[in-house]
């Protein structure tokens, strides 16, 4: 939103009041100062990861770059955690409390772009891109972790800090398998953030999800000479999809079901003996997803029966909806208001407006205000996140910082462009500051930890976390 000058002044005054509302302790001040010192490092990480743009489970160079940097700073780094070569955990200190910070670094296929305000594929031929801004996510989180470590050292603060290098968020895989492996079990609390086109604390739960494939196996035959000898796996896929599309009339308005057909046969004159359909089913909570998933599996069985084919269902991954933690949300809001949203230069705002002009949307540049935290969670919107799994294991909260021009399509070349600019990097620096301040709060404020834990216990009813995927299932290989 663009504010008239007078309103902007009023906002600045409001920010000054909010800032005055919190007097920083020496240890918080030390952590904040460290983020200031680390700004060039945060920019460097952002740019390096943006250039690499490695997709899910292929983030070898990106994860190694982060792991090495953390090691140089004094973290002990465990690589290849839970069977994923690009997952790592960086640990500093010992004993309680144990505080976690999440980092993501995978890019998206097909959304590569130069950091210019128009659609322009990369000159170096890299077709993937950071359309979700995970280059900034990693830079902000790693920057915060280093700042906290330095403050813990200089201020002799006890406890354990963990930076989780979580790959493959875009395929909703990384944290699910890490959670199954138990790496979050002993945490007292966990923090995360995400790039966005606005600056606010997360206050809606997103959707629970099952991501699965259904394969059908038939019999090949000449489609004209002897079709009676054939059994079409593609027929089974079509019949299954038809069944699911009939089912849509009888699900809740909150339900989302989407599919693609990665394999549908090779040539029209061969009855396809193999076909595969790939589904996502989502809803506002896990029991609903499980209910629809059971129904869809029956439809698959029906399609196989009708087409006299065999079938196999493979649940690739699944997540819960986000388990919000109010005390942590409030702690984040306090620090986010203190730090304030990124201040964008005129040149950066011109970039944003040019990009919006190219996209034929309202030319309002980057949003530069902090949204207030509403009393109650907002209506469910958007997709799903594997952070949700962590939120059922330990008190967890997150926030968004403006890194992209207002209202540009997310997961697109346009967001990739923004995330390669100084404007995006400013978002990562703001995030590092908020994470560092809230991280220190969690180390030093036992009452906050207790409130977060009590809220968590009340919401989960003491029920232990149940991973949506089978216990012995290994992480899937990277997508081709
Ligand atoms: Zn993302």
- pLDDT for res 18: 46
Ligand 1 centre distance from Cα of residue 196 (Å): 9
Ligand 1 centre distance from Cα of residue 134 (Å): 6
Integer Cα distance of 420 and 46 in angstroms: 8
Contact (Cβ atoms closer than 8 angstroms) between residue 56 and residue 167: yes
Ligand 1 centre distance from Cα of residue 194 (Å): 7
Ligand 1 centre distance from Cα of residue 274 (Å): 33
Residues 309-318: what's their mean pLDDT? 96
Q: What is the pLDDT of residues 247-297, one digit of tens each?
A: 999 999 999 999 999 999 999 999 999 999 999 999 999 999 999 999 999
Integer Cα distance of 67 and 91 in angstroms: 11
Question: Taking 90 as the threshold, does the pLDDT of residue 152 lie above it?
Answer: yes
Mean of the per-residue pLDDT values of the chain: 94
Ligand 1 centre distance from Cα of residue 170 (Å): 6
- pLDDT for res 1: 35
pTM: 0.92
- pLDDT for res 43: 98
Ligand 1 centre distance from Cα of residue 132 (Å): 5
More confident residue, 412 or 6: 412
Integer Cα distance of 18 and 11 in angstroms: 10
Q: What is the pLDDT of residues 44-73, one digit of tens each?
A: 999 999 999 999 999 999 999 999 999 999
Ligand 1 centre distance from Cα of residue 410 (Å): 9
Contact (Cβ atoms closer than 8 angstroms) between residue 351 and residue 414: no
DSSP state of 73: T
Ligand 1 centre distance from Cα of residue 329 (Å): 19
- 136 Cα distance to chain centroid: 12
Residue 480 binned pLDDT confidence (cut-offs 50, 70, 90): low
Q: What is the pLDDT of residues 373-390, one digit of tens each?
A: 999 999 998 789 999 999
Question: Taking 60 as the threshold, does the pLDDT of residue 2 lie above it?
Answer: no
Integer Cα distance of 161 and 163 in angstroms: 7
Dihedral, 73, 134, 104, 256 alpha carbons, nearest 10: 170
Ligand 1 centre distance from Cα of residue 218 (Å): 38
Angle at 467 between CA 463 and CA 471, to 5 degrees: 120
Hey, which residues does 102 pair with through a beta bridge? 164
Ligand 1 centre distance from Cα of residue 382 (Å): 11
Question: Taking 50 as the threshold, does the pLDDT of residue 31 lie above it?
Answer: yes
Ligand 1 centre distance from Cα of residue 137 (Å): 8
Ligand 1 centre distance from Cα of residue 322 (Å): 14
Integer Cα distance of 87 and 34 in angstroms: 26
Q: What is the pLDDT of residues 91-104, one digit of tens each?
A: 999 999 999 999 99
More confident residue, 107 or 22: 107
Q: What percent of the chain has pLDDT over 90?
A: 92
DSSP state of 412: S
Ligand 1 centre distance from Cα of residue 106 (Å): 8
Q: Is the dihedral of CA 247, 248, 252, 258 positive or negative?
A: positive
Question: Taking 50 as the threshold, does the pLDDT of residue 397 lie above it?
Answer: yes
- pLDDT for res 393: 98
Ligand 1 centre distance from Cα of residue 308 (Å): 41
Ligand 1 centre distance from Cα of residue 391 (Å): 16
Question: Taking 60 as the threshold, does the pLDDT of residue 12 lie above it?
Answer: no
Ligand 1 centre distance from Cα of residue 184 (Å): 20
Contact (Cβ atoms closer than 8 angstroms) between residue 378 and residue 202: no
Q: Which helix (H) or strand (E) holds 78?
A: strand 76-79
DSSP state of 266: S
More confident residue, 9 or 224: 224
- pLDDT for res 21: 66
Contact (Cβ atoms closer than 8 angstroms) between residue 41 and residue 149: no
Residue 342 binned pLDDT confidence (cut-offs 50, 70, 90): very high
């Amino acid at each position: 939103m663009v504010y008239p000058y007078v309103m902007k002044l009023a906002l600045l005054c409001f920010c000054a009041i909010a800032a005055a509302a919190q007097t920083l302790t020496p240890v918080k001040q030390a952590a904040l100062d460290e983020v200031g010192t680390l700004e060039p490092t945060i920019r460097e990480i952002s740019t390096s990861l943006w250039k690499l743009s490695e997709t899910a489970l292929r983030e070898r160079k990106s994860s190694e770059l982060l792991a090495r940097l953390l090691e140089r700073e004094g973290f002990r780094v465990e690589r290849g955690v839970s069977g994923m070569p690009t997952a790592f955990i960086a640990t500093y200190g010992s004993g309680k409390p144990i505080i976690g910070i999440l980092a993501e670094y995978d890019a998206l296929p097909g959304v590569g772009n130069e950091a210019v305000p128009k659609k322009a594929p990369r000159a170096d031929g890299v077709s993937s891109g950071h359309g979700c801004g995970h280059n900034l996510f990693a830079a902000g989180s790693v920057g915060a972790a280093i700042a906290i470590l330095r403050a813990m050292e200089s201020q002799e603060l006890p406890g354990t800090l963990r930076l989780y290098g979580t790959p493959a968020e875009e395929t909703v895989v990384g944290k699910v398998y890490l959670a199954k492996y138990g790496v979050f079990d002993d945490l007292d609390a966990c923090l995360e953030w995400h790039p966005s086109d606005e600056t606010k604390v997360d206050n809606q739960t997103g959707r629970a999800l099952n991501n699965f494939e259904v394969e059908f196996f038939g019999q090949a035959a000449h489609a004209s000479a002897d079709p009676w000898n054939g059994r079409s796996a593609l027929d089974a896929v079509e019949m299954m999809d038809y069944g699911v599309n009939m089912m849509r009339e009888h699900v809740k308005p909150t339900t989302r079901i989407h599919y693609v057909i990665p394999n549908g046969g090779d040539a029209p004159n061969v009855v396809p003996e193999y076909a595969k359909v790939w589904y996502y089913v989502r809803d506002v909570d896990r029991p609903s997803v499980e209910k629809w998933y059971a129904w869809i599996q029956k439809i698959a069985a029906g399609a196989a029966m009708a087409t006299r084919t065999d079938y196999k269902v493979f649940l690739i991954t699944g997540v819960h909806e986000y388990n919000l933690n109010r005390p942590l949300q409030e702690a984040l809001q306090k620090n986010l208001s203190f730090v304030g949203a990124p201040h964008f230069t005129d040149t950066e705002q011109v970039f944003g407006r040019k990009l919006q002009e190219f996209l034929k949307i309202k030319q309002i540049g980057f949003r530069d205000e902090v949204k207030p935290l509403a009393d109650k969670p907002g209506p469910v919107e958007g997709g799903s996140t594997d952070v949700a799994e962590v939120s059922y294991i330990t008190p967890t909260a997150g926030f968004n910082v403006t890194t992209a021009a207002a209202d540009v399509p997310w997961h697109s070349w346009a967001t990739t462009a923004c995330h390669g600019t100084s404007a995006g990097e400013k978002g990562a620096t703001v995030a590092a500051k908020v994470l560092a301040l809230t991280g220190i709060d969690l180390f030093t404020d036992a009452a906050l930890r207790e409130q977060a834990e009590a809220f968590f216990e009340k919401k989960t009813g003491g029920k232990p976390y149940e991973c949506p995927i089978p216990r012995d299932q290994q992480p899937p290989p990277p997508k081709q």
